Amino acid sequence: MDHKSKNNLPILYSFRRCPYAMRARMAIHISGQKCELREVLLRDKPPSMLEYSAKGTVPVLILQDGKVIDESLDVIDWALNLNDPDDWQRSKDTKKTKELIKINDGEFKYHLDRYKYSKRYDNEDPEFHRKNCLKFIESVNNELNNSKYIFDDNISYADIVLLPFIRQFRIADIEWFDSLPYNNLKKWLSGFLDSTLLNSIMKKYDLWKEGDKSIVF
């Protein structure tokens, strides 16, 4: 397989609304790295993406030397290890951040899927899963009692990794979410929703098909 892009840049397979891909794109953006973006539909995966990564999930990053990185946290690490202008990594290895990510990517994501996409699952009660999601939502709200962001008063790794999933939880029922008593969390999320950071990585691009010219992201 030819691993070279036409612009000699890393190639990034992504899906705009996927929370894993979103957090990877935020790290790539803040680090100033350039990639050839290939926007895909997960229900119609390009054969080349599956050749690079049989998992069939995004993000998938192919470096110039052919190395494939297909876990979002590893893509974030790749980008921030090259350039971390705002020191997002300062919170990465703390006990609090590790525990929050473990719950976010595990228990919270499990219940989030069965709440937001309950029709995809057999005999699942979305209300039950929403209540379980709230346990994590409340814990993040409590983390924001004494600081603007999760770790301190500036954006860090902890915020970026959790943000897309909490955003997705809100989208499932915006009116209900906005009525919740978790003011710290709602203020934190609102700040991101209006931010240049999030808007810059949520631009809409045409779907990429095999043989198409990639967009530089």
70 pLDDT above the threshold of 90: yes
Quick: pLDDT tens for 9-60. Answer: 999 999 999 999 999 999 999 999 999 999 999 889 999 999 999 999 999 9
CATH classification code of 11-87+199-216: 3.40.30.10
Structure tokens at 7: 């612009």
3 pLDDT above the threshold of 90: no
CA–CA separation, 80 vs 88, rounded Å?
A: 8
Domain ranges of the chain: 11-87+199-216, 88-196
What pTM does this model have? 0.94
Omega cis (within 30) before 10: no
Query: What pLDDT, on a 0 to 100 scale, did the predictor assign at position 2?
Result: 47
Query: What pLDDT, on a 0 to 100 scale, did the predictor assign at position 6?
Result: 65
User: Is residue 28 within 8 Å of residue 81, measured between CB atoms?
Assistant: no
5 pLDDT above the threshold of 90: no
- Give percent of the chain with pLDDT exceeding 90: 87
CATH classification code of 88-196: 1.20.1050.10
CA atoms within 13 A on the CB side of 111: 17
Instruction: Name the residue among 20, 154, 148 with its Cα closest to residue 87.
Output: 154
Element (H, E) at 62: strand 60-62
Quick: pLDDT tens for 112-124. Answer: 999 998 778 888 8
Q: What is the DSSP code string of 79-139?
A: HHHH--TT-GGGGTTSHHHHHHHHHIIIIIHHHHHHHHTGGGSTT--HHHHHHHHHHHHHH
CA–CA separation, 29 vs 137, rounded Å?
A: 27
